[in-house]
Structure 1
Amino acid sequence: MGAGRLIAVLVTALLAGCAPATAAPGGSSGAQAARRAPEGSYAVGVRTLTLDPRSARPLPVTIWYPASTGGVAAGRFPVVIYSHGLHSRPDLHAGLTTRWAAAGFVVAAPAFPHTRQGAAQFTRADVRNQPADGWRLIRHLGRLDSDPTDPLAGHLDLTSIAAAGHSAGGFTTSGMFTEGHPARLRSGIVIAGGGLPGSFAGPVAPLLFVHGTADAVVPLAVARAAYARVPGPAAFLSLLGQGHGEYLTPGNQGFAPVLATTTDFLRWTLYGDPAAGARLATNARAPLTRYETHAPALG
């Protein structure tokens, strides 16, 4: 099957079986038609907060959101949970996350207690606990959306959520797609990462893998093995000859196709934008990248 035909199959399957529902006023889920994806771009606002600051596992969070004069832009916006890698921080990924926010997404990025840069008790073993932190953040966002005193109230579409992350954050992202995960987790982007035990189960959700073919930190074979395990629609964007994440820095080689592909993937899966889905195969810019897909039958 040719690339164009396969993309068409993926788009049709998603819109038939996984189209996002728009949240009704007040935060309740509604079976309304998918909204149009925004045209143009927004200004971007940022805020920080800390979940459970007096607990054994406080979670600082940075939130980027579409903004207008005076605060959050009008409307409800799908949510992306973005997870950083080992010895990293949310602000170090702002080159990508702010551009997603400008495209019409609220991006919430936790700073994990035991893997972030400067963690008092650093341990990579804590990655296994980070998917639960992602769900804790989603629940907190639900409280903000229903709190009439919060600036984000009424602006979060928590029926259309994606998870994304780099390196250990990519493994964290995979770990959110386990048996029993809510269907409102509609898609995932795994950047320079792989799968955790139990990943890629539960409701079918499209997944995009982004990986440098010369990655010496997380070998390409790790991501390829995870990609092969995905039971539903999946795509793989290879950054030819690149390493562990230099393509995430604006101005570096590979950043433009990564930004275009990930943004269109989010527009496709969270806004139900078929034009964005159709562009995915053409966003890759040879000789920098290679794009491929697999589309097992949906149940």
Structure 2
Amino acid sequence: MRASLAAASVLLLAGCSVSVPRPVTTTAPPPAPAVTSAPAPEKTGRAPRQSFDVDTRQLRLSRGTDRPLPVTIWYPDAGAGRFPVILFSHGLTGRPSDYAPLLEHWASAGFVIAAPTYPYTSRGAERVNALDVINQPADATYVLSEVLKLDRRAGDVLRGRLATDRLAAAGHSAGGITTIGLFSVARDERLDAGVVLAGSALGVGLGFTGPPAPLLFVHGELDSVVSYASGKAAYDRVPWPKAFLTLPDGDHGQSLLREGNGAFDVVADSTLDFWRWSLYGDTDAKRRLPEDAGASGLGRLEDQLG
């Protein structure tokens, strides 16, 4: 474990926010034996076809006196019914606002996104401690529990609007590590699906456990911060339905998550259809995934979703 944490610190201290990545060489975990995929419970339904206007709000949370966790929530501002909830984790020296274009894209399609600002890995933190990422899966679980309480809070704008049985986690870079932790060492068994953007399992391990949950990995082959090989190694160990979206010309964040380039559109469309399928049970969205990934020639999809 100490060796893993040391490797994680080297990786994370290189900087894994969207805006300021710095090159670092990382070592992928050793190859693992093949794991037989288990089927995930199928949800059935249809994702909303309309596009919603999106509102945001702030929620002030704290998991103890030394772990403040302010949360930004993006949500559809109108519409009947309940919306699935996605917990999103930012990268090192990042903040939720860095990912606003992607998170607004998801919310406009009928999802509620809750994005905490982590106390020791965010931009503007009094002291940045890369190793604190190992505490973030517990933070994420706490935040998700608190956000779900809004569904029952009298007078709250989200009262009666959260699909509390349709939950997911996603994250970029250090947030991708946090997300993998939620499906492994700190498994939150409420989660139905996950998306890992330019992440790896360094620091949290590859012991995926708990109920089957489909996972989508997205990684650029030119990523010089979190190596493509380390992301693929984590993906290879997932024992559930899974897919891996490769961006041959993708780096760690600029081409992956910034609007105004084709790679952003590939990531936005692919992840959205993955959510529509995994959280709403929309089979049409699942069928669109290969086209989302490859239509522009900017991505290729390895599909083991079943």
Scaled to the shorter chain, the TM-score interval is 0.7 to 0.9
State how many pairs are aligned: 266
The residue that corresponds to 1:216 in the other structure is 224
Q: Is 1:266 aligned to residue 281 of structure 2?
A: no
C-alpha distance in structure 1 between counterparts of 2:158 and 2:206, whole Å:
33
Do 1:163 and 1:189's aligned partners in 2 also have CA atoms closer than 8 Å? yes
Distance (Å, rounded) in 2 between the aligned partners of 1:153 and 1:206: 28
Partner of 1:116: 122
Residue identity opposite 1:78 in structure 2: P
Match of 2:54 in 1: 44
Query: TM (normalized to structure 2)?
Result: 0.82
Aligned partner letter, 2:199: G
2:241 to 227, 233, 239: 233
The 2-side partners of 1:262 and 1:164 are apart by: 10
Matched, 1:62 2:72: yes
Kept after mapping to 2: 8 A contact 1:179/1:202: no
Asked whether the 8 Å contact 1:180–1:202 carries over to 2, the reply is no
**Cα distance between partner residues in 2 of 1:132 and 1:141:** 14
1:200 positional shift: 2.0
1:289 corresponds in structure 2 to 299
Deviation at 1:155?
0.6
Q: Which residues in structure 2 correspond to 1:131-150 (within 5 Å)?
A: 131-150=137-156
State the SS of the aligned residue for 1:173.
Answer: helix
Partner AA of 2:116 in structure 1? P
Secondary structure at the counterpart of residue 92 of structure 1 = helix
Alpha-carbon distance between aligned partners in 1 of 2:63 and 2:218, rounded to the nearest angstrom: 33
For residue 42 of structure 2, the aligned residue among 15, 19, 40 is: 19
Matched residue SS, 2:119: coil
Deviation at 1:173, TM superposition (A): 0.6
Deviation (angstroms), 1:135: 0.5
After superposition, the C-alpha distances for 1:116-154 in whole angstroms (9 at most, x for unaligned) are 001112101000110111110111012211111211111
Distance 1:62 1:180, change over 3 A: closer
* CA RMSD in angstroms, aligned pairs only: 1.9
Q: CA shift at 1:40, angstroms?
A: 1.9
In structure 1, the gaps of 5 or more residues are 1-9, 21-33
Matching residue within 200, 210, 217 for 2:208: 200
How many Å apart are 1:240 and its aligned residue?
A: 1.0
Q: What residue is the counterpart of 2:26 in the other structure?
A: none
- Unaligned ranges ≥5, structure 2: 1-36
**Pick aligned residue for 1:249 from 247, 252, 258:** 258
Query: What SS does the corresponding residue of 1:74 show, helix, strand or coil?
Result: coil
Mapped to 2, the partners of 1:267 and 1:190 lie a distance apart of 16
C-alpha offsets along residues 13-68 of structure 1, whole Å, 9 cap, x if unaligned? 86xx4234xxxxxxxxxxxxx44210021000100111128722110100000013
- Deviation of 1:184 after TM superposition, in Å, equals 3.1
**What is the letter of the counterpart of residue 253 of structure 2?**
G
Is the contact made by 2:63 and 2:139 (CA closer than 8 Å) also made in structure 1?
Answer: no
Deviation, 1:183, is: 4.2
CA distance 1:56–1:263, change in 2 (3 Å): same
The residue identity in structure 2 corresponding to 1:19 is: E
User: 2-side partners of 1:199 and 1:217: how far apart?
Assistant: 23
* 2-structure distance, mates of 1:133, 1:198: 20
Q: Secondary structure at the match of 1:209?
A: strand
Give SS of 1:225's match.
Answer: helix
CA contact (8 A) 2:91 2:174 kept: yes
Letter in 2 for 1:157: A
Distance of 1:64 and 1:295 partners within structure 2:
28
Could you state the TM-score of these two structures normalised by the residue count of structure 1?
Answer: 0.84
1:220-273, Cα deviation, whole Å (9 max, x unpaired) = 001010010000111010111221012211112311111110000000000000
For 1:228, the aligned partner's letter is D
Greater RCO, CA 8 A, separation 6+: 2
* CA–CA separation in structure 1 for the residues paired with 2:262 and 2:273: 19
